[in-house]
Chains A and B, each alone.
Chain A
Amino acid sequence: MEKVIAGYSVDVTEEGYLTNKDQWNKEIAEVIAKELGIDELTEGHWKVIEFLQKDFAETEKLPTIRRVKNVGGIATKELYQLYPEGPLLKATKIAGLSKPVSCV
């Protein structure tokens, strides 16, 4: 389905995940973050977003929280502080990626 986010018309799933990552930009990220209760995307938030995007581009798979820690160098504690209540679900949505389907 189509949705207007930050003035851009984008394709999203029913749950609001972008289906075409080429439509993503930083303004869209900020609006989605606000919808998820994150008022401001700090440097720490961007570090997570950039790692998710980079890792997905390289592996064609969404990283797990463990991979974010071991490969991305972002401690799990920090990840949960930045993105409370479902860190990977929120961070992937903000990063314009698909919803994670892994159990770990």
Chain B
Amino acid sequence: MSNDEKIKKVSIVVSKGSLEGIYPALIMANGARMQGIEANLFFTFFGMDAITKKKMANIKVATVGNPAMGIPTLIGAIPGMSYFATRMMKKQMEELDIPPIPEFIEMIDDAGGKIYACLASVDMFKLKKEDFCDQVEKILTVGEFYDLSAGGQIIFT
């Protein structure tokens, strides 16, 4: 692959607030920076939990409505199941040196990745800039998001 064909910029939209909804986007954004690719993260809807101070350290795996988990829905609904599944998964990730979400967000910011929240969702959930972690650069409209994504690839997760 020649240099001309390399991806130069990615803008990743994070719309889900479960552990498995958030991590792939963070790994991809961080991986982009590791590869010298410009990276923007745009958090919308429940994805915003990953950058909300009060919630970011308590993101859980969805044990209901997640057929790949192999847990029947009714079992997955038992209190503590999500906690248990989350703990198992976090342990696995720690072994691979994948950081907890707050540390990951900090690392991506330190790596030069840019972090944004979606204005429509911020208004809908009645949030303020202060509710987000310090790494959030700005609250953006969809139009502004498209502007800053110009010339790059957009990935929706």
Chain A residues at the B interface, C-beta cutoff of 8 Å? 64-67, 69, 75-77, 80, 84-89, 102-104
CA of A103 to CA of B23, assembled, Å: 12
Residues from chain A with a CB closer than 8 A to the CB of B30 are 104
- B96 to A, closest residue via Cβ: A104
Residues from chain A with a CB closer than 8 A to the CB of B96 are 102, 104
- Please tell me the size bucket of the interface on B: 10 to 19
- Interface of A, secondary structure class, is helix
Contact A65 B35 (CB under 8 A): no
Residues from chain A with a CB closer than 8 A to the CB of B112 are 80
Contact B97 A64 (CB under 8 A): yes
Q: A76-B107, A85-B36 are in contact. Are A103 and B97 (CB under 8 A)?
A: no
Given contacts A77-B110, A104-B27, 20 further A-B contacts (CB under 8 A): A64-B97, A65-B34, A65-B111, A66-B97, A66-B99, A67-B97, A76-B110, A76-B111, A77-B111, A80-B112, A84-B36, A86-B34, A86-B35, A87-B34, A88-B34, A89-B35, A89-B36, A102-B97, A104-B96, A104-B98
> A-B pairs with CB below 8 Å: how many?
41
- A76 to B, closest residue via Cβ: B110
Contact of B36 among A86, A103, A104 (CB under 8 A): A86
CA of A77 to CA of B11, assembled, Å: 21
Contact A80 B97 (CB under 8 A): no
